[in-house]
Chains A and B, each alone.
Chain A
């Protein structure tokens, strides 16, 4: 992982690839690297779909090693959805394969002269770029099948569906999983539209003939990884809850708390919740011969995913995540797991973010485009997006665009990005993160609950009046650091509760790179990432006014607890005072 592959899609005579040493970016990986390149090299005022934007794809620090849970991959650019900097990440196989091929990052630059589509193939012999217009408007599933027939089944693919080709703001970048299915998506912020603007339909990665990346101290690295795995397996969240029920285990609990956004954030509880809960989903998967326990990449020991079969016992999609089940389920008043699974499949195939898509359909439902609870209508709307009809073009550009098109005030976005599955009136601390993260409303921006273990920000009294702000700040710093390691964010629970597991993670990084990092260094890394991102957004024209929730969250009472968002603007503005 000592080189960067840059592909100038607008070069004279056609796309041109060059490999450069990591140079000034040495030591950076994952989100730290994507955000550094975007912040240094992209004009913050450029058009996100123009030649001056860059799409950066980077595995984490421990990508391509035997380290468990190190398979996350980051995608960065200027976002066409938010207009600010974006980092979206995903699981799947690509991070491991790309890292073993030696690439710290792939950077797509420039813009093709016409609307031709390109395929990029990377293997031990280098890079091949070929024009292939036969791929136009293929869904991700057909596309990957075609790549498999051409390049065999030892590959990993990074691709876009029709939504990316149509440069929709909800378009995702897909990554294949262990079964070579395009089920893992860097979903947020329209990163797929930027890949589409670069004219790249698919990047095929083949690490045949390459080896695992070697550690500086193999013995210590192996021992630390063992302690790491043991720690993850013994923790009740990472070793039991997530493997048994997946992330959808949250549905019942959020609903009980009255913080489950229902019917476009009008209510905090959904009557049909038990029909779409993680417990019901897991039982359905097992009863049909699928699986409720499955990893998204090799080396995953948490196994929070699953295999969802349809009523006839045929593969339909991977186990839909909590966010997806909520977005297409309760938020649209839909309590049919099979319909939700179909929507997940369509989102993956057309290549759109499930959160943005579900939030958008809910806004459309409030506008009367379809009725809340009408699952078939929701499926039809996603097909409109995939086909690129005029209505589909509106929906495919997200909740903000759809709200404007249909004259709806209740549009749950921050920086034009749709909110995820936690109502900020019920869980105010998450509202602080939604409002202030440079990414736009994003629950994963403040997700690394190990912040206190890392001693981010020194001692924080969580019960002090400033607690919400300080906790969110520290969570955002810790998350930026974890995103840079390439570790799945779910590791944070074992790190939170088991100091020896946190130590194992530090030991693993140190043994691999021959470093002597401390928790302070990890904190400094997280701060530097956020600083890059905040600076970029400031130059792009963002002000404090963009760090706000929509006004209705302060006015509309959320049943059943009848609460509003109460954190003041002054408190929000103090978040990045460190």
Chain B
């Protein structure tokens, strides 16, 4: 098994093709956080729009709440990501806290003690890893695009995710490839991970139900 190194972390590439109807459960992975290789020292806006390809209008109008390292961000154009940063994105939220956490919202002062200050995120520019958590409608809407182009997932998280999936999920997984070699869906289900890498570069493509390649016959 070939592995690549990202820093000192081994990774393996897993490409899944599945029926479109089982894509939503993958969004649960996104709430826990997935990694992206990034050009750090960039603003949140630059990272999301230029590096991840999210439309600026979507960021402005739909991503209502942003946390950078656990702190609510008021201005995506000035907050800066660093190597190791965690960025969490949410659509509009209910409750007073929903209003308080809004970026630049009227009620932002209610959470002033934990608000993100731009000077906190100054750091060296270069390459790094950034964790992105996608919540609620943002996960649903950006999930297909990001899963389609690939995300880095902790192996433990992926194993736990696979372990919790019912039979119906696996019967709709149509094709799997590990490091570009066709693999069996049952191996994935049984948690067979070659050399157990720390990170999995996961891509998920969908086909309409009944179309696309069939899964390789399962191992006895």
B108: interface (CB < 8 Å) = yes
For residue B218, give the distance in angstroms from its CB to the closest CB of chain A: 23
Return the chain A residue nearest B110 by Cβ. A429
B171: shortest Cβ distance to chain A, in Å? Answer: 14
Q: Which residues of A contact B94 (CB under 8 A)?
A: 237, 241-242, 247, 249-250, 304, 490, 493
B109 A236 Cβ-Cβ under 8 A: no
Complex contact B136–A279 (CB within 8 A): yes
Does A498 belong to the interface (CB within 8 Å)? no
**B111 contacts partner chain A, Cβ-Cβ < 8 Å:** yes
What residues of chain A lie closer than 8 Å to B62, measured between beta carbons?
236
Pairwise interchain contact A287-B166, C-beta atoms closer than 8 A: yes
Contact B133 A252 (CB under 8 A): yes
Q: Are A427 and B110 in contact (CB under 8 A)?
A: yes
Within the complex, the shortest CB–CB distance from B88 to chain A, in Å, comes to 5
From B27, B31, B94, B106, name the one whose CB has the most chain A CB atoms within 10 angstroms: B94
Q: Mark A321-333, 1 if CB is under 8 A from B, else 0.
A: 0100000000000
Could you tell me the distance in whole angstroms from the C-beta of B84 to the nearest C-beta in chain A?
Answer: 14
Determine if B24 and A240 form an interchain contact, defined as CB atoms under 8 angstroms apart: no
- Residues on B with beta carbons closer than 8 Å to the beta carbon of A561: 70-71, 113-114
CB-based contact A443/B98 at 8 Å: no
A residues in contact with B101, CB < 8 Å:
253, 257
Interface residues of B in 44-87 (CB under 8 A from A): 62, 64-65, 67, 70-72
A residues contacting B by CB (< 8 A) are: 235-237, 240-242, 244-245, 247, 249-250, 252-254, 256-259, 274, 277-280, 283, 287, 304, 322, 422, 425-430, 433, 443, 446-447, 449, 452, 462-463, 467-468, 471-472, 475, 490, 493, 496, 560-561, 563, 566
Count of A-B contacts with CB under 8 A? 151
User: In the assembled complex, which residues on chain B have CB atoms less than 8 Å from the CB atom of A237?
Assistant: 92-94, 98
12 A-B residue pairings within 8 Å (CB atoms):
A241-B91, A250-B95, A253-B97, A257-B70, A280-B28, A429-B96, A430-B97, A430-B110, A443-B96, A462-B107, A462-B108, A468-B112
A505–B107 Cα distance when bound, in Å, is 22
B-to-A contact residues, CB < 8 Å: 24-25, 27-28, 31-32, 62, 64-65, 67, 70-72, 88, 90-101, 106-114, 133, 135-137, 139-140, 166
Contact A426:B111 (CB < 8 A) given known A240-B137, A256-B70: yes
Apart from A241-B92, A249-B136, A253-B101, what 15 extra A-B contacts exist at CB < 8 Å? A237-B94, A250-B98, A252-B90, A252-B133, A256-B88, A279-B136, A280-B31, A283-B24, A287-B166, A422-B97, A427-B100, A428-B111, A433-B96, A563-B114, A566-B113
Report the Cα distance A486→B106, complex, angstroms: 25
Q: State whether A283 touches B110 (Cβ < 8 A).
A: no
| B contact face: mostly helix, strand, loop, or mixed | helix
Q: Select one of B24, B70, B71, B109 contacting A429, CB under 8 A.
A: B109
Interface contact A496-B110, CB-CB below 8 Å = no
Q: Which residues of chain A are within 8 angstroms of B135 by Cβ–Cβ distance?
A: 249, 252-253, 277, 279
How many angstroms between the C-alpha atoms of A447 and B96 in the bound complex? 5
Cβ of B81 to closest chain A Cβ, rounded Å? 15
Residue among A236, A256, A274, A433 making CB contact with B92, cutoff 8 Å: A236
Which A residues are in CB contact (< 8 Å) with B91?
Answer: 236, 240-241
- Nearest neighbor of A239 in chain B, beta-carbon distance: B92
| Cα distance, A59 to B28, chains bound together (Å) | 40
Q: A247-B95, A257-B67, A490-B94 are in contact. Are A452 and B106 (CB under 8 A)?
A: yes
Distance from A377 Cβ to chain B, minimum over Cβ atoms (Å) = 24
Measured CB to CB, the closest approach of chain B to A292, in angstroms, equals 11
Q: What is the bound-complex CA distance between A489 and B174, given in angstroms?
A: 45
* Cβ–Cβ < 8 Å partners of A252 in chain B: 31, 88, 90, 133, 135-136
Residues of A within 8 A of B140 (CB): 244
Minimal Cβ-Cβ distance residue in B for A449: B99
- Given A279-B135, A561-B113: A429 touches B31 (CB 8 Å cut-off): no
CB distance from A547 to the nearest CB of B (A): 18
Distance in Å from the Cβ of B190 to the closest Cβ of chain A? 21
- Chain A nearest CB from B77 CB (Å) reads 19
Hey, which chain B residues are within 8 Å of A244, CB to CB?
A: 136-137, 140
Contact with A274, one of B31, B98, B114 (Cβ below 8 angstroms): B31
Central interface residue in A236, A287, A449, A566, by most chain B CB within 10 Å: A449
Report A-chain residues with C-beta under 8 Å of the C-beta of B27: 279
Interface centre among B27, B71, B98 (most CB of A within 10 A): B98
A6, B94: Cα distance in complex, Å: 37
Measured CB to CB, the closest approach of chain A to B67, in angstroms, equals: 5
**Chain A residues closer than 8 Å to B70, beta-carbon distance:** 256-258, 560-561
Docked complex Cα distance between A257 and B25 (Å): 24
The one of B109, B112, B114 that contacts A259, using a Cβ cutoff of 8 Å: B114
Residues of A within 8 A of B136 (CB): 241, 244-245, 249, 252, 278-279
Contacting residues, chain B, for A426 (C-beta < 8 A) = 111, 113-114
Q: With A236-B91, A240-B137 as known contacts, state yes or no: A254 contacts B97, CB within 8 Å.
A: yes
Cross-chain contact B92 with A462 (CB below 8 angstroms): no
* Minimum-distance CB pairs A-B, first 6: A429-B110, A449-B99, A467-B109, A236-B92, A256-B88, A237-B92
